[in-house]
Structure 1
Amino acid sequence: MRTRNRLLAGLNALLLAGLGALTTPSPAHAANLLSNPGFESGTLSGWSCSGGTGSVVGSPVRSGTKALAGAATAGDTARCAQRVPVQPNTTYSLSGWVRGSYVHLGVTGGASTWTSSASDYTRLTVSFTTGATQTSAEVYLHGWYGQGTYHADDISLDGPGGGDDTQAPTAPGNLRVTGTSATSVSLAWDAATDNVGVTGYDVFRGGTPVASVTGTQATVTGLSPNTAYSFTVHAEDRAGNTSPASAAVTATTDEGGGGTPGFVQAAPYLYLGWGNPPNATEVMRATGIKWFTMAFVLAQNGCNPAWDGQRPLTGGVDESTIKAIRAAGGDIVPSIGGWSGNKLGPNCSTPEALAGAYQKVIDAYDLKAIDVDIENTDEFENAVVQDRILTALKIVKQNNPGLKTILTFPTLNTGPNSWGNRLIERAAALQADIDNFTVMPFNFGGGADMYGNTVRATEGLKNKLKSTFGWSDAEAYAHIGISGMNDSSDTGEITTPQIWTQIRDWANSHHIGRLAFWSVNRDRPSWQFTSITAGFTG
């Protein structure tokens, strides 16, 4: 009930803020500045919807034959927006017909209005006045978290068009490929110029728009392995003028489909901050294991990475252990975060600051991969921090060609929960280009079928990745990891060496990308689970 009250209070505050921004409309020429206002084209042409949540439907409609459907989820309000040129110091009237619960209509950075419940199409209207130098405005519609699909039709922005700036930007220059994986291509280009100012870039694959960014680099995901693609980029200015296309560039994705993943890692957890840690190189000699997931990098004095939030990245036991592992032919991936402790995600205030913290860890060890273990209410069940982590991982991946990024997070025994689904959906929407989504299929309850639940949870993850990214079964499995718990879990479940062998064999037969368990410290004295994990081949 308190959650419901907070939601309503937030919505009331939003309404009051919108009402406070209303102005008395001045006379203006009646001209709808929006393109495709009734979605009669049968497409979302002119509109951009978050996370693939928007679609055009034939029913219910207010007029004509088409309308917008926005599929709001627990993690996405299904925001659909369109930017148009306007004139400074001018009053405009925005209106639209909407149907659904908690549907909002407004202008970014300005006035908005909403309806709490409209069982049939209801008209929303709001007015706003542009700023002294404003030459474009973005209008938007969205629903509300967990309130289901809304519908909208006949959206209108009335007022004089922005005719002061008709000069398009120059074409972006020197479009180039900066990295590839089996399912992604990273691009960069030189900035376009404009008489007023460039506001963003649209990346096209062939003739299809696949990414919109404000900077001069992007990663296009959801591609097929060993396939050639052609890309161009257009620049856009504040008045909505679009540049000519850049010169095209062709890139071929890496091999990795057909059951041959491009990234394979057998990496049980090694924790140097707990009890009497085992000697890593002795474990390697006894078991054949090559990789370790080293736990845990936390925050120290704000947004500064440190082992357990206490030990420095260099000059201590952690660095000497990493050097010994590498001298023995192995390597490590740091586990950043975890269930408890003071974590970087909430302590770094911006994605850029968080990316800077990750970069310190990468630079300290010249890493090939990093893992962010995102758990608990401070990171996993926090939409702002989820997005911050995903954006930070996108930044460090763009700045470190070849770096592999891993997300480790809890799961239900049927697949990701609502927060896990949101994490995956936002990874796609933000184009974070995550290489591996690792689930932790345990703590379902004592007496659970650990093999059966692990397989069901992983299959649920596979299905979510397929539906979100458009991947095949092989592509989805190649992006999946399993992180189990040897012997007894926190809730008394038992995973025996025999069960772990079954899980490993299933993982090998489905060619998933990663296998880990918590932990080598608990695998004494025979290192059975570590030896079994060393047989993971992906």
Structure 2
Amino acid sequence: MKRSQIASLIFGMLLLPLAVLLTAVPAYAAANTATFAKTSDWGSGYQAQFTITNNGSSALNGWSVAFDLPSGSSVGTYWDALLTQSGSHYTFTNRDYNGSIAAGASTTFGFVASGSGTPTGCTLNGAACGGGGGGGGSDTQAPTTPTGLTVTGHTSSSVSLSWTASTDNVGVTGYDVYQGSSLATTVSGTSATVTGLSASTSYSFTVRAKDAAGNLSASSASVSATTDSGGGGGGGAGVFSPYVDITMATPTLKDVATATGQKHFTLAFALADSTGCNPSWGGTIALNDSRVIGEVNDLKSVGGDVTVATGGANGPYLENTCGSSAALLAAYKKALDAVGSNHIDVDVEASIPVAQVNTALKQLQSERGTTVTYTLRVQAQDYGVDPFSVQILQDAASRGLNVTVNPMLMDFGYSGSWGDALISAANATLGQMKQIWTGKSDADLKRMLGLTPMIGKNDTGPTTTQAIARQVLSYAQTNHVGYIGFWSVGRDNGGCPNGSVSPTCSGISQSTYEFTNIFKGFTG
């Protein structure tokens, strides 16, 4: 063997262990991440979610996200995870349905926190969460300032806005909309509707973008808008919007508008059809029914608008039929899109899955700026809405969901004058709202209040006369409440003045559309 061959052999033998060592080292795999983002923030608390992303090449089977919150902050309600807590240390683990994450896929869980403190020391399955949020701490760059802030519409109690999207080195997660110096709402898209405003009043608005790490952009240039003088909005977005049973062919929306000048109506009710989580009118009429769509288009041709109401006295409720907040959100969007509305009224006269419904409504409001009304049962004249309704509102407040609270001024126990009982029930509901939204002023709470009597003969015996309607109107005007409705336009006639309860007449002597003409004078 030549010297050169021997040298080559020795060199090859020396390299062999190194080659074996190099081939034994696995290829680098990107770390899995758990990224924190606030989805809404109301100062004294916030709603947030973690997004867990599998950046590996094989499925991640089981996950655990742990973090600490500073003193003064704590987790309340949560979803899509299991929680164990030790002092200020929180550990969230997967549920049975979201524990396996395919390569390149992600899943989320969320929670509501009291206080302003955000997670620190975050770990995912024992390793740092990474991803620039949730304790990663590496992202300190704020998004660019939103531009092009524009007023796109206004009613007597709302202003709609849009703007050009901001950019960010990691990604924009949402926008805070300010009314003057106060945070009015938080959305994920580039439009919003600020509600609960006073009629004939000028307001100034700005917008700030934010990212997952909580970095805020500078404020946009401000825009100003003056709300309308009143009469014709509804569903939390205006002043007066009576209910119409849209499953009935008469009276048509345009006919009522032509006869009275009233141009906003609440369409009752979008329910689940026989196939399940699919909205339809009354559970039987397709959303795109030509008669219904024709009526809505005719109304819009004369400057009208509609609110979509779900729930009601009869089911099947979408809220109970749709099996998840995502499915319910899709159903809400489908119903609203069918008639081109951005106002939803959830009429609760049965048990509903509260967290699921409010999660869907919050997402809807965050994405579209949708105005949301809860129409709720009154327990008694001195009590206000029933205990279950209070739970719904408490949960809505904890999630930062902006709502109009609309007690049904009908079918409850009372003594003395029925008119006085309606006013007492409204005041009792305001008292309940004050305990839920402790940081709001009396004037703000009154702008969140709706009033909806049943005109004429009520199901349980009392009668809401024209004089009582004027009493309710006077209370609403004096206290500057946000909304008036009534059940229902199809009953607003004197076709059965014999004291009967009918879906097509009031049961009392009256002129056609007399109650509509009484309440349309409401200016907020």
| Band the TM-score falls in, shorter-chain normalisation | 0.5 to 0.7
| Matched ranges for 1:132-281 at <5 A | 165=138, 168=141, 170-174=143-147, 176-177=149-150, 179=152, 181=154, 182=157, 186=161, 188-194=163-169, 197-198=170-171, 200-201=173-174, 203=176, 205=178, 226-229=201-204, 231-237=206-212, 240=213, 242=215, 245-246=217-218, 248-255=220-227, 263-270=238-245, 272-273=247-248
The answer to whether structure 1 residue 407 and structure 2 residue 374 are counterparts is yes
| Counterpart amino acid of residue 481 in structure 1 | G
**What residue is the counterpart of 2:268 in the other structure?**
295
- Give the 3 Å change call, closer, same or farther, for CA 253–409 of structure 1 in structure 2: farther
Q: CA deviation at 1:269?
A: 3.5
- When the two chains are superposed, the root-mean-square deviation of aligned CA atoms in Å is 5.6
TM-score (norm: length of structure 1): 0.59
| Counterpart amino acid of residue 505 in structure 2 | R
Number of residue pairs aligned between Structure 1 and Structure 2: 429
**Within 1, Cα distance between the matches of 2:328 and 2:78?**
31
**Within 1, Cα distance between the matches of 2:250 and 2:470?**
24
Identity in percent? 21
Contact 1:268–1:533 (Cα < 8 Å) also in 2: no
**What residue is the counterpart of 1:504 in the other structure?**
473
Q: Which of the two has higher C-alpha Rg?
A: 2
Contact 1:105–1:124 (Cα < 8 Å) also in 2: no
Contact 2:270–2:282 (Cα < 8 Å) also in 1: yes
Contact 1:442–1:489 (Cα < 8 Å) also in 2: yes
The answer to whether structure 1 residue 113 and structure 2 residue 81 are counterparts is no
**Within 1, Cα distance between the matches of 2:185 and 2:146?**
17
**What residue is the counterpart of 1:18 in the other structure?**
none
The answer to whether structure 1 residue 515 and structure 2 residue 489 are counterparts is no
| Counterpart amino acid of residue 486 in structure 1 | I
**What residue is the counterpart of 1:14 in the other structure?**
none
Contact 2:246–2:281 (Cα < 8 Å) also in 1: no
| Counterpart amino acid of residue 389 in structure 1 | L
Contact 2:146–2:208 (Cα < 8 Å) also in 1: no
TM-score (norm: length of structure 2): 0.60
- Give the 3 Å change call, closer, same or farther, for CA 531–350 of structure 1 in structure 2: same
| Counterpart amino acid of residue 167 in structure 2 | A
**What residue is the counterpart of 1:339 in the other structure?**
313
The answer to whether structure 1 residue 312 and structure 2 residue 279 are counterparts is no
| Counterpart amino acid of residue 454 in structure 1 | L
- Give the 3 Å change call, closer, same or farther, for CA 170–302 of structure 1 in structure 2: same
Q: CA deviation at 1:104?
A: 7.8
| Counterpart amino acid of residue 516 in structure 2 | T
**What residue is the counterpart of 2:458 in the other structure?**
489
**Within 2, Cα distance between the matches of 1:530 and 1:234?**
47
**Within 1, Cα distance between the matches of 2:473 and 2:308?**
22
The answer to whether structure 1 residue 388 and structure 2 residue 360 are counterparts is yes
| Counterpart amino acid of residue 264 in structure 1 | V
- Give the 3 Å change call, closer, same or farther, for CA 469–344 of structure 1 in structure 2: farther
**Within 2, Cα distance between the matches of 1:515 and 1:90?**
48
Residues 421-465 of structure 1, C-alpha deviation per residue, up to 9 Å, x if partnerless?
Answer: 45445555555554x432202221376642122112223344556
Helix, strand or coil at the partner of 1:378: coil
**Within 2, Cα distance between the matches of 1:91 and 1:324?**
53
**What residue is the counterpart of 1:533 in the other structure?**
516
Contact 1:222–1:471 (Cα < 8 Å) also in 2: no
Residues 454-486 of structure 1, C-alpha deviation per residue, up to 9 Å, x if partnerless?
Answer: 112223344556673866655544443322223
Contact 2:456–2:507 (Cα < 8 Å) also in 1: no
Q: CA deviation at 1:250?
A: 0.4
Ranges in structure 1 where 5+ consecutive residues have no aligned partner: 1-46, 55-77, 84-88, 115-122, 144-150, 399-403
**Within 1, Cα distance between the matches of 2:329 and 2:339?**
16
- Give the 3 Å change call, closer, same or farther, for CA 203–289 of structure 1 in structure 2: closer
**Within 1, Cα distance between the matches of 2:464 and 2:255?**
24
Ranges in structure 2 where 5+ consecutive residues have no aligned partner: 1-37, 52-62, 94-100, 492-503
**Which of 354-363 and 514-523 deviates more?**
354-363
Contact 1:484–1:517 (Cα < 8 Å) also in 2: yes
Contact 1:50–1:79 (Cα < 8 Å) also in 2: yes
Contact 1:486–1:529 (Cα < 8 Å) also in 2: no
**Within 2, Cα distance between the matches of 1:218 and 1:285?**
31
**Within 1, Cα distance between the matches of 2:65 and 2:297?**
65
Helix, strand or coil at the partner of 1:242: coil
**Within 2, Cα distance between the matches of 1:287 and 1:209?**
38
**What residue is the counterpart of 1:451 in the other structure?**
419
**What residue is the counterpart of 1:377 in the other structure?**
351
| Counterpart amino acid of residue 425 in structure 2 | A
- Give the 3 Å change call, closer, same or farther, for CA 372–93 of structure 1 in structure 2: closer
Residues 293-316 of structure 1, C-alpha deviation per residue, up to 9 Å, x if partnerless?
Answer: 442221222332221111123345
**What residue is the counterpart of 1:75 in the other structure?**
none
Residues 166-212 of structure 1, C-alpha deviation per residue, up to 9 Å, x if partnerless?
Answer: 56255255362454655666454424232xx3373463747777666
**Within 2, Cα distance between the matches of 1:462 and 1:420?**
13
Q: CA deviation at 1:362?
A: 4.0
